[in-house]
Copies of this chain bind each other. A is one copy, B any other.
Amino acid sequence: MSTSVRLAVDVMGGDFGPRCIIPSVARCLEQIPGLHVTLVGSPEPMTRLCAEHRLPQDRIRLVHTSETIHGDDAPASVLRSKRDASMRVAIELVRDGHADGCLSAGNTGALMVLAKALLGTVEGIQRPAIMAALPVAGRFCHVLDLGANVDCSARQLFEFAVMGSEAVSELTGVEQPRVGLLNIGSEVNKGSLRVREVSELLRDTPSLNYIGHVEGNELFLDRADVVVCDGFVGNVMLKASEGLVQYMQQEMRQAFAGNLLLRLLGPVLRRALRPMAERLNPHQYNGVSLLGLRGVVVKSHGNAGQPAFEAAIRQAVRACESDMPQRIAARLARCRGELL
């Protein structure tokens, strides 16, 4: 990574706050030469932790704020209240040109509302979308939207496909990401009218590598690199998958605990299952992109530990380096041109 990137980091968000975020920033500053970070948050722990972790003075800047947005703050209310919240100020740094992008582990809904209001959307994009990666067979399946938009029009779903394709090709290096549209089984019916409408638009856009409909089970069969759906479906699917993995892990622990021989073999089993657990560990692919905004905004999982937060920083840096908002605008214009 050669270019210079200025990243604003909300140090107050997430379950572990500054004591996890500041050492993560320290490590990334060591690894990424061109990176400059503006840390936004409460002065007390920030100054002390920066000294403790020896952050290079010439590559960091501290911006002090007096308020924090919490997980239970209603997204709609944060726009009017909490004008000195760390999350808001980090986004304002992007808006005002003092940072190339920002990163927060705080309340997703609040982040989306603030980013949309303060940055606005890329020209041609009606609504921004949330995109995350599911791990599949050592690769990733990126899904959007995951909850920013409850009901989406065909046009919006089309825009998600374009944004997802461009972002995934930048973030993963896959040149022509396979784009699929989430739909339900042909055995029941051919899905919603809207899905069929989007499907036609996507088929008419040759620069997208559109592979057609993808069913729920195919998310885990490495059929597509990008899967498009509305935020209600995406959110339910993602959370159900997380819930199911946790449920299966718990069942497995119980099964092993109930068998004396397997209890004795615990260390061997854990070692054998570690690669699988790592692949399924959400921290390996931490970093959710808010796409379609006039600025790079990345959201880290709230319970991200240090390595996970570092992964989110690296993702934000990549998005800044490639000037994602500009690329998305250009790609959208090109795809729209193909439809004329």
A residues apposed to B, CB below 8 Å = 71, 75-76, 107-109, 112, 130, 136-137, 147-148, 150-151, 182, 184-189, 191-193, 215-221, 229, 231-233, 235-248, 251-252, 254-256, 258-259, 261-262, 265, 268-269, 271-273, 275-276, 279-280
Contacts and interface: CB of A to CB of B under 8 A. Distances in A.
A107 to B, nearest CB: 6
Contacts of A248: 245, 248, 276, 280
A182 B109 contact: no
Copies in the complex: 2
A71 B151 CA distance: 31
A221 B262 CA distance: 26
A248 to B, nearest CB: 6
Contacts of A273: 252, 255
A265 to B, nearest CB: 7
A132 to B, nearest CB: 13
Contact of A191 (B75, B150, B251, B258): B150
Contact of A236 (B136, B137, B182): B182
Contacts of A217: 239-240, 242-243, 246
Contact of A261 (B71, B185, B237, B268): B268
14 contacts: A150-B191, A150-B193, A184-B231, A185-B235, A191-B232, A216-B239, A216-B242, A244-B245, A251-B279, A252-B273, A255-B275, A259-B272, A261-B268, A262-B269
A215 B232 CA distance: 10
B191 A216 contact: no
Contacts of A221: 243, 247
B259 A184 contact: no
A229 B240 CA distance: 13
Contacts of A216: 235-243
A100 to B, nearest CB: 26
Contacts of A271: 259
Contacts of A218: 243
B276 A189 contact: no
A191 B130 CA distance: 15
Contacts of A243: 216-221
A2 B248 CA distance: 39
A237 B235 contact: no
Contacts of A75: 187-189
A257 to B, nearest CB: 10
